[in-house]
Structure 1
Amino acid sequence: MRFPIGLSSVFSIQGPRSIYVYSLLIGLFSGFGAYGFNWALTWTESFTFGNLIGYDPGTPAGDLHFHSVDKVGDLSPLWILFLPAIGGLFVGIITSFFCQEAQGGGTDSLIHAFHFNEGKISTKVPFYKALATILTLGSGGSGGKEGPTAQIGAGFGSSLANFLGAGARARRTLMLAGTAGGLGAIFRAPLGGAITAVEMVYQEDIESDSLVPCVLSSVTAYLTYTSIAGSGSIFSVKEYSLNDYRHIPLYIVLGLLCYVVGYFFVKVYHWVQDIFSKLPLPNFLKPAFGGLIVGCIALLFPEVLGSGFGLIQRMINGEVLTSTSFGFSGPFFLLAVAIFKVFSTSLTVGSGSSGGLLGPSFAIGGMLGAFVGTMANVLFPDLNIIVFPFLLVGMGSFFAGVARAPIAGMIMVCDMIGSYALLPALMIVAMIAVVLSHKISIYRNQIKNRFLSPSHHWDMNQDIMDRIRIQDHFTEFRKYAMVSEHLSLTQLQSNAPGIQASDFILIGSNEEYKGIVSLRKNRILPEYEAELKNLITCGEIVQDVPPVCQKDTLGKALRILLEYDVDKLAIVEENRCLGYLRYIDLFNAYQNEVKNKNKKTKAV
């Protein structure tokens, strides 16, 4: 057992209230993790950008607590060209030989873990993800820092669930709570972090079951982070409100532009991913090759390096952004930065380096908003356009479109500036971008809605489930996780990784069904294995879970699985165990029944 026997019932998850308490703990850890990561990243960027590259990307107001670029040397084309490739090489070594899961954006892997891996995340992922991201962004790669902070929190949530012996449903919830904590802390967005976590896993839905835990974790992480780094939002913004309705047509134009460039971004990013996956190079060299191309782009536009948040703060402050290489400014320079940021981000993350996509999406959208605002000033000087509101609205709307997360895009930006004054404009532009972008998403593992996700087997239509008999869909059953009642618990623990199961069907000498043993709930700690070896048999800790027969319905089987918190169920005929059914088996049978019913309806 993971806990001594007396403490198991005290610390195990007993219901929603237990989840809420552990969400607070996850938020606390996520806040400290985000602070440590941001400190290390900002210190690294201070050294590389200031001493090697010789370029000052600016600093968001919320990061002034950390190290910043105080002294900037002369611009070094040599370092600009080769530093992203050097960083990519180190990242490639980490992701190829130590932790493959650390490559890429991070958010997509979290979504995959939620839907398809029961919320399980390897304990080594947060550390290697943080290290790889520091190397990527510190060397000038174009990416965001939300990926590792989200995975730090998500990894802790998943590990805590495993430690507590929680089931898949609770583990997914705690994983999302950790994700919310990481986002809420690093972006100083307590509500935005929670909404992003529950919305990003679907294209047209939210994970409402996890909303309260995500809010608790995100707020706790935010308070923990700001108690150390100081209060305030990540961007310092002057007061503004949408009081001139003549600006609304310009916001509509911005929504259309966010859709066009967002569609281009998604296509380019996925194309780069596919190209690099087939590239005839060793995997550890692919991020370096991508970094070299990013360096070539940065020779012309150093503005594409890093997350881009510093440039956004400079423009919010009223600075007219001027090309470092060519000395020109104006709306088309801002549009060029946005377009080249699309390529640099796609090449950085798509080649296998580590960095988030949320941060660059904000930067690209911000440049598009600044382009519209600046162009409007040129064409319609009588409107007295202030540029920074368009910049901020573009940030949230572009992310809402490419990530299929309209509420998250709006709330996140409002939290990041500490004001909801721009919410009406955000709602207009974000809805245009989202409605037009309904067929695209930057995250490939997103699922349309909760009813198509394996994570929601319990949401299946119970009336249909109660009409489907097991024998209608199954003639043979799995037997891999069937073990003898005389097997010792220590031997079962040793065999479990090879069988890839956590719950086991117990049978007697004549294959009669005895019950179920769950290693999620019963496990001998490593330090006690020598003393307890072969002393405890599986038959002594068996859980009495009712079996079903082939004439029973899927509905009955599902209710037993949920009531007894097991992941498989024995099929018994004439007191002999024929095998077992899993959650996924019931889900697939249900889906096939619904599809067949829809085909018959269409034929009629």
Structure 2
Amino acid sequence: VAIVGFFVHESLGSGLGFLQKLMSGENLISHSPLSNLLLRNHSSQHALMLFLLLVAVAKIVTTSFTIGSGGSGGLLVPSLFIGGCLGAAVGLFGQIYFPSITSSYIPFIPVGMASFFAGVANAPIASVIMVTEMTGSYVLLAPLITVAVISMILCHKFSLYDNQKLNKFESPAHTWDITAKLMRNFTLQESVKQFQQEGILTPDTSFRSILRQMSRLNRYTFPVIDSSGKYIGIVSLAGIGREQKRSLLKQKVKAQDLLLPNSPIIVYNDSLSKALETMLNFDLDCVPVVDENRNLLGTIGFHDILAGYHKRLTGKDIERKTF
């Protein structure tokens, strides 16, 4: 890297200052150690074009050695720098050989930046947004979009980022977003095979009996119904410690004394997503499910919700396995 940088010092660092000077039309070749060699046999425009191509190649080499050796550095800014140099070189080529249609090479710099990064990163939208923000102008928005799309089409099989996902459906970061949207469209009635019937209390159920069911069913949430089977509320023993349990036993409290204020209620045609959110919001390990007349149909837990979701996706039921 040091050897390359000695001859082409523009290939070191971020290079954004170099691009800024290039866009301002400054004569950069005069500051290079290679200026005498290039200007000796070429015109100033030819020399600048060759110089920019040389700088782009040198930047590729220095970036490759830096990243490949484990050094600190990224790929975003070098990609923009290389694209800007190549874009300027193409613009100079047009100025030299097609002067009637190419008046300046400067607009080719941001176009080259967007095109190169869109190709190597497979990110056309991001490249267009970044370049327009960096240049502070939307005058070249149409050509930026055009070259970004073309570059993406030509280079879509290759990417600097080996672990880049094809789309958001394959990205672990978006897994829950997709799952949540699907769960909102799946109702309990369509998804859950049957509701659990155990652990249903009456208002007069003693606290001692609730503790027995808690131990037997290994859960801490119990729905309460009246004599006609209508849902009254829910009892949750989450967070109740040993001393508090002893105190409640001495007081001989009943289920009706332990009902949660504003007890949650889930109707059988509600979505899987609503049932899951209710369990999480109220810290429950199951939720009661009722019909339109508040008659309790049973309860569902996390396993039932996930099994229902799996059934809707695959069409297959999941059976509980005992060990």
Report the TM-score when normalising by structure 2: 0.58
Range 321-330 or range 333-342, more displaced:
321-330
Correspondence 1:272-351 to 2 at 5 A: 294-322=1-29, 324-327=32-35, 328=38, 329-351=47-69
Change (3 A) 1:388 1:592: same
How much does 1:348 deviate?
A: 2.6
User: Counterpart amino acid of 2:180?
Assistant: W
How much does 1:309 deviate?
A: 0.1
How much does 1:358 deviate?
A: 2.1
Post-superposition Cα deviations, 1:461-499, rounded to whole Å, max 9, x if no partner, equal 75567655579xxxxxxxxxxxxxxxxxxxxxxxxxxxx
- Whole-angstrom CA distance in 1 between matches of 2:261 and 2:56: 59
1:510 correspondence with 2:196 = no
Q: Return the match for 1:560 from 253, 256, 275.
A: 275
Post-superposition Cα deviations, 1:371-401, rounded to whole Å, max 9, x if no partner, equal 1001112222333431111011111222233
1:538 correspondence with 2:260 = no
Contact 1:545 1:564 in 2 (8 A): no
Change (3 A) 1:331 1:308: same
Contact 1:361 1:395 in 2 (8 A): yes
Contact 2:192 2:307 in 1 (8 A): no
Change (3 A) 1:372 1:458: same
Post-superposition Cα deviations, 1:273-322, rounded to whole Å, max 9, x if no partner, equal xxxxxxxxxxxxxxxxxxxxx33432343221111101101111212332
Aligned residues: 236
- Whole-angstrom CA distance in 1 between matches of 2:193 and 2:65: 49
Contact 1:367 1:391 in 2 (8 A): yes
Q: Return the match for 2:75 from 351, 357, 373.
A: 357
Name the SS of the counterpart of 1:421 in structure 2. coil
Name the SS of the counterpart of 2:216 in structure 1. coil
What's the counterpart of residue 141 of structure 1?
A: none
User: Counterpart amino acid of 2:56?
Assistant: A
Post-superposition Cα deviations, 1:443-462, rounded to whole Å, max 9, x if no partner, equal 44443334443131212275
Change (3 A) 1:454 1:590: farther
User: Counterpart amino acid of 1:324?
Assistant: S
Correspondence 1:107-126 to 2 at 5 A: none
How much does 1:544 deviate?
A: 10
User: Counterpart amino acid of 1:558?
Assistant: S
What's the counterpart of residue 366 of structure 1?
A: 84
Change (3 A) 1:444 1:592: farther
What's the counterpart of residue 248 of structure 2?
A: none
- Whole-angstrom CA distance in 1 between matches of 2:104 and 2:156: 31
- Whole-angstrom CA distance in 2 between matches of 1:315 and 1:388: 8
- Whole-angstrom CA distance in 1 between matches of 2:265 and 2:219: 8
* Structure 2: runs of 5 or more not aligned: 39-46, 195-212, 222-237, 242-259, 288-298, 317-323
What's the counterpart of residue 426 of structure 1?
A: 144
Contact 1:547 1:570 in 2 (8 A): no
How much does 1:423 deviate?
A: 1.1
Change (3 A) 1:427 1:421: same
* Structure 1: runs of 5 or more not aligned: 1-293, 472-506, 516-536, 597-604
What's the counterpart of residue 207 of structure 2?
A: none
User: Counterpart amino acid of 1:510?
Assistant: R
Name the SS of the counterpart of 1:513 in structure 2. coil
Range 401-410 or range 419-428, more displaced:
401-410
Q: Return the match for 2:182 from 451, 456, 460.
A: 460
Decide which structure has greater helix share. 1
User: Counterpart amino acid of 2:218?
Assistant: E
What's the counterpart of residue 522 of structure 1?
A: none
User: Counterpart amino acid of 1:399?
Assistant: F
User: Counterpart amino acid of 1:326?
Assistant: L
Change (3 A) 1:309 1:465: farther
Superposition misfits of 4+ residues, deviation over 6 angstroms: 542-548, 585-588
- Whole-angstrom CA distance in 2 between matches of 1:340 and 1:512: 67
What's the counterpart of residue 128 of structure 1?
A: none
Contact 2:116 2:151 in 1 (8 A): yes
Q: Return the match for 1:593 from 298, 314, 317.
A: 314
- Whole-angstrom CA distance in 2 between matches of 1:579 and 1:564: 8
Change (3 A) 1:366 1:358: same
How much does 1:367 deviate?
A: 0.9
Correspondence 1:184-583 to 2 at 5 A: 294-322=1-29, 324-327=32-35, 328=38, 329-452=47-170, 453-456=174-177, 457-460=179-182, 467-469=190-192, 508-515=214-221, 538-539=239-240, 556-565=271-280, 570=285, 580-581=302-303
Name the SS of the counterpart of 2:79 in structure 1. helix
Report the TM-score when normalising by structure 1: 0.33
Name the SS of the counterpart of 1:424 in structure 2. helix
Contact 1:409 1:430 in 2 (8 A): yes
- Whole-angstrom CA distance in 1 between matches of 2:144 and 2:105: 15
- Whole-angstrom CA distance in 2 between matches of 1:372 and 1:544: 70
Change (3 A) 1:592 1:341: farther
Contact 1:465 1:590 in 2 (8 A): no
- Whole-angstrom CA distance in 1 between matches of 2:261 and 2:71: 46
**Whose relative contact order is higher, 1 or 2, with alpha carbons under 8 Å and at least 6 apart?**
1
- Whole-angstrom CA distance in 1 between matches of 2:303 and 2:162: 29
Change (3 A) 1:396 1:325: same
- Greater Rg by CA: 2
Between the aligned residues of both structures, percent identity stands at 36
Post-superposition Cα deviations, 1:505-550, rounded to whole Å, max 9, x if no partner, equal xx943343215xxxxxxxxxxxxxxxxxxxxx8237x9999899xx
